[in-house]
Chain A
Amino acid sequence: MANLKEVRERIKSVSSTQQITKAMKMVSAAKLRQAQNAIVQMRPYDKKLNQILQNVLQAIKGDANIAMAKERPVVTHPMLVVITSNRGLCGAFNTNIIKEGVATIEEKFASHYEAGRLHIMCIGKKGADFFKKRYPKAQMHLDHVDLFSNLEYESVYEIADLLLEKYAALELDSIHVAYGRFKNAAMQFAEVHQFAPIAEPEVSESADQGARADYVFEPDKQELLEDLIPMIMKTQFYRFCLDTHASEHGARMTAMDKATENAEELKKELRITYNKARQEAITKELSEIVGGAAALGG
């Protein structure tokens, strides 16, 4: 028979844990809304940027010569950027991103790692902790681990600028980013995306955007393109960070919701055990009294 006091204490501790998970869920819900808002805010910027790119590409008629889109024949210095959250308690979110990152390294850059030429940049403490231990021979870039404590686009663009500078200076030959793509509060996907070189931008054939105006391009089309592409890449990098940020809160919200539910179930079970034990004790006491009375009367 379960000890009454023990069960009572367990119920109490489960209840207080449940309160914590419930509060965390609500905090995550609020933060998620903010993070989603940031994604919505950057959309017009992204859209306009791509529109301008389309204009230039159409004017240039496939003669685009984009340095950032050229695959390097030999990749000697690959870089993997791992964007994770700073904190845990968000289910398998960070584990999944790390897993994707590790899979990419094992698959593509195992020999680079052995030669000590693999670069890993971590944004978010969880990824940094893991990759430091797991890949001691890699060249770690840990200056921006704490980005998420103050997620402003200026700082994100600075990091992206730095990456692109190193790429342009041939210090890096390819850049992959492992991050959590955000779909909605309940769905996040851990993904690895090739950040540089970027895929050759395609000219969309849709003529429905009104008659194409005869634009004046300054300084000239080619140079404009060389400015536009990095800007688009930086914006994409910003998007990766925003997505991961929103995903983190979405994942934590789901995890905490599940935890609250589980606590509720646990509490129910414990309460049944408690009531059973209580009833048993009462029955026992009653039968003892009855037995005692019978013994006296007999």
Chain B
Amino acid sequence: MKVTVLSPQKELYNGDAIRVKVPGKAGRFEVLKNHAPLVSSLEEGVVLVDSGSSKEEFQIKAGFIEVLRNEVSILIQQ
């Protein structure tokens, strides 16, 4: 699935990933391939993007995630 992580200033991640872990407001959760369409707000914590070969972590203050047809968009405020 395709993942983009955006901050207002720049694109922090853009590429394929097998797993994304985010601090959802209703609890930390993981998004895998073929996840149902979802919109959630995020709270303070760590966003983890796992592309299989490498893992990237982003510390966030707030944010949103949208999942639609294997495209994950994460908007964050650091």
Contact = CB atoms under 8 A, between A and B. Distances in A.
Interface of A: 38, 41-42, 44-46, 48-49, 51-52, 55-56, 152-154, 157, 213-219, 223-224, 227-228, 231, 234-235, 238
B41 interface: yes
- The secondary-structure label for the interface of chain B is strand
Contact of B39 (A41, A52, A153, A235): A52
Contacts of A234: 77
Given A224-B39, A227-B25, 10 more contacts: A51-B66, A213-B37, A213-B69, A215-B38, A215-B39, A217-B40, A218-B41, A228-B41, A231-B62, A231-B75
A52 B66 contact: yes
B7 interface: yes
A interface: dominant SS: helix
Nearest to B25: A219
Interface of B: 6-11, 24-26, 36-41, 62, 64, 66, 68-69, 73, 75, 77-78
A233 to B, nearest CB: 12
B8 A235 contact: yes
A219 to B, nearest CB: 4
Given A157-B77, A227-B62, A48 B38 contact: no
A100 B14 CA distance: 42
Given A45-B75, A218-B26, A227-B64, A56 B39 contact: yes
Contact of A217 (B9, B11, B39, B73): B39
Contact of A218 (B9, B39, B73, B75): B39
